[in-house]
Amino acid sequence: MGLKVGQLIPEFTLFDQDGNIFNSSEIVGKKPLVIFFYPKDNTPGCTAEVCSFRDSYEEFTEHGAQVVGISSDSEKTHRKFVSKYRLPFTLLADTENKVSRLFKVKRKLFNLLPGRETYVISKEGVILFVFNSVNATLHMKKALNALNNIEAK
């Protein structure tokens, strides 16, 4: 398992699908953040996962949360993926796996496959919820449920 509930997220910068620099420090302190790490664009499980976040995107924004997907794919691959599936959120290119290592995202299947983990982070940058599962269809539901439970407290 990667970083734990209660820890602060590490500061990081990556390029998004449009070649813009995304700096986590520009979000922390302003709004909650949902970060999901996924293995690869245009694969069946990952496409299902990103499309589930897309289909519920408005519910995340109603909570004031910014949704960000991260994989080791390039900006160009992300740009095509965003366009093909009309994704309303940012995808970040972690081509050297620096950020996945910062978050301690575990690789699967004899260390061959990138991990799949989702984090719900408070606007102060504190991890409120972590979900680690190869089941791509559960990540959006778990993240949205965590946001709902946090607001209910």
Residue 66 confidence (pLDDT): 96
Q: Which of 9, 34, 35, 46 is catalytic?
A: 46
Quickly state the pLDDT bin for 108 (edges 50, 70, 90).
low
Q: Distance between CA 79 and CA 2 in Å, rounded?
A: 27
46 is catalytic: yes
pLDDT exceeds cutoff 90 at 133: no
Quickly state the pLDDT bin for 34 (edges 50, 70, 90).
very high
Residue 112 confidence (pLDDT): 54
- Domain borders along the chain are 13-152
> What sections of 73-138 are H helices per DSSP?
75-85, 98-102
pLDDT exceeds cutoff 70 at 114: no
Please state which of the ranges 3-7, 31-35, 105-109, 128-132 shows the lowest mean pLDDT: 105-109
Retrieve residue 69's tokens: 């997907």
Q: Distance between CA 70 and CA 38 in Å, rounded?
A: 6
pLDDT exceeds cutoff 90 at 62: yes
Residue 113 confidence (pLDDT): 61
Domain 13-152's class? Answer: alpha beta
Q: Distance between CA 130 and CA 1 in Å, rounded?
A: 9
Average predicted confidence (pLDDT) for the chain:
91
Residue 110 confidence (pLDDT): 47
Residue 109 confidence (pLDDT): 54
- Do residues 20 and 148 lie in contact, with contact meaning Cβ atoms separated by under 8 Å? no
Mean pLDDT of 128-146: 91
Backbone angles phi, psi at 135, to 5 degrees: -75, 100
Residue 84 confidence (pLDDT): 97
